[in-house]
Chain A
Amino acid sequence: MIVLLGVLVVVVGFATKRNALLVVGVAGIVTGLLGGLSPQEVLAAFGTGFASSRAVTIFAITLPVIGLLERYGLQEQARRLIARFAKLTTGRFLALYLGMRQIGAAVGLTHVFGHAQTVRPLAVPMAEGAAERKHGRLTDKGREKVRSFSASADNVGLFFGEDVFLAVGSILLITSFVNTTYNTHLEPLHLALWAIPSALCAFAVHGWRLLRLDRYLERELVAANIEPVAEGAAK
């Protein structure tokens, strides 16, 4: 049971906001030593672990070409493409964003969208703009809600899209772990196919919740904006 202390190291490390690499490194050393490995065996475990999980990092091979395309305006073009759909309600726009994020991740473009490069500069202004066009000025509460759901659309889309792309880290992690540990042979393609049912569920569930956001905004904002509307009518 004492080896479970390694899990505790991870929990405490992340809870106290230490550097994640450091936390994982320390947890590995502690768990290895508690599990009865000699210091030399712990070193060897780090070495073989690194060597057999290289597949997870091989996506770095795509960085030069993505970087080159970004120099020539890949993100700007992605923005222009989304901007064509600007005349939507907040919920519909975010559901569309969810779908595009999922499809993008499913064909391997996990870095085309993202919180820093797309959600903040693009998705949030468009989602807020749609709400204000329809219902008038946003309340602080409504603004928080729209922004939280914008972030959630990106996360859900990424998580439940990327596993459909067979060369993504998690699929490669499953095959490299299982193939080395249990001496078997799994095909990444079969794993990717089994990610499709969950991807469809994720789009249905979160998409529906994003569409419901419109109703929430209607209730919240109509109530908050009733006064200015009545004033306007009196003039």
Chain B
Amino acid sequence: MIKAEWFYWLVGLSFLVMASQMLTDRSNPKRFGTTAFWGLLGAGFIYSSWVVEKKAPAEPLGAAVLVMVLLAGFGFTGRGTPRTTTPEQREASALKLGNKLFVPALAIPVVALLCAVLVKKLSIGGEPILQEGSETILGLGIGAVVALVVGMIMLREKRISVPVQAGRSMLESMGWAMLLPQLLATLGTIFQLSGVGTQVGKLATSVLPEDSLYVAVVVYCIGMALFTVIMGNAFAAFPVMTAAVGWPVLIEHFHGDAPAVLAIGMLAGFCGTLVTPMAANFNIVPSALLELKDQYGPIKAQLPTAGVLLGCNIVVMALFAF
């Protein structure tokens, strides 16, 4: 049986390999902090396996996460000069290879989908090939490995160090932002543990008339959007609003279809992302990038769409989820 943990170890291992490359990269002025950040992330990925199985204490991992936060938060991470091709070389190569270049890139989603739909049902000797419940993650992992093999054969690239270096410079250019979604999910869990969801739930139920399904749908969707505006990210809003209204009221009380309620709830949150300056990487950074005089230009362009789409999500959820 192929297990999801193997792919977490592979990701952890590649972070560790990339961290060791960062250590020797003298073009990065902050190479020690950068190495420590990615090294801890890689080690954390592997150590997590035992935390999930409750065979190792979670506190050391928590401490490592906080060290990563401090390293990134106080500017100890940086990036080196990537070793890559020149724009002219890339232009020439694109001209030569044409649309063939999309084949490996498209192999990733195709393999992921095949695993999630077909391979999932296969088993050898009564044991499923893919670990149950992790078919999607396995699909992504297998897809990436297949795509890498196809890509290297197609491009006649023999050195595995080339894609690893390329991946490393993409990691460095994303920097600490790559850890942010995972940390926001963690924050959501902590909010949940500390009872923020329950408090918001109390506030919500005090304004919610009992047995009014449609009002509850509206409160969940608008709550997702508002919380996302405040937190700048639907990932952090989701656990709070789901613990407050989504799960107890919409799914348990009104017996809503869980995948529909939760998927549409998340998209209602995305309507909030479209209109908040807190989501700086989507809304404020582009105005700087495009040299706009009005830094709220993109938000203004998105505001009417976000409003209408929030309405659409409410209607779709109310019509189809119950």
Q: Quick check: A53 and B102 within 8 Å, CB to CB?
A: no
Residues A138-174 near B (CB distance < 8 A): 140, 144-145, 147-152, 154-156, 159-160, 163, 165-167, 169-174
- Please give the number of chain B residues whose Cβ is less than 8 angstroms from any Cβ of chain A in the complex: 149
**Which of B20-28, B121-129, B139-147 binds A?**
B139-147
Chain B 277-302 interface 0/1 with A at a Cβ cutoff of 8 Å (1 = within) = 01010110111011111100110111
Contact pick for A166, options B10, B14, B116, B270, CB 8 Å: B116
Q: Quick check: A151 and B290 within 8 Å, CB to CB?
A: yes
Residues A19-70 near B (CB distance < 8 A): 19-22, 24-25, 27-28, 31-32, 34-37, 40, 42-70
Q: Quick check: B14 and A65 within 8 Å, CB to CB?
A: no
Cβ of B29 within 8 Å of any chain A Cβ, yes or no, is no
The majority secondary structure among interface residues of chain A is helix
Shortest Cβ distance from residue B92 to the other chain A in the assembled complex, whole angstroms: 8
Interface range on chain A (Cβ under 8 Å from partner)? 35 or more
Cα distance A147–B288 in the bound complex, in angstroms: 11
Cα distance A75–B165 in the bound complex, in angstroms: 18
Q: List 11 A-B contacts (CB under 8 A).
A: A35-B196, A47-B60, A52-B189, A63-B170, A68-B155, A112-B105, A120-B289, A151-B286, A155-B298, A171-B136, A178-B258
Task: List B residues at the A interface (Cβ < 8 Å).
Answer: 7-8, 10-11, 14-15, 44-45, 48-49, 51-52, 57-66, 68-70, 72-75, 84-85, 87, 89-95, 97-99, 101-102, 104-106, 108-109, 112-113, 116-117, 133, 136-137, 139-141, 143-145, 147-148, 151-152, 155, 157, 162-171, 176-196, 199-200, 230-232, 234-236, 238-239, 242-243, 247, 258-260, 262-264, 266-267, 270, 273-274, 278, 280, 282-283, 285-287, 289-294, 297-298, 300-302, 304-305, 308-309, 312-313, 316, 320
Q: Which 10 A-B pairs have the closest CB atoms?
A: A35-B194, A67-B166, A49-B186, A73-B94, A47-B58, A22-B73, A47-B61, A148-B297, A46-B62, A64-B167
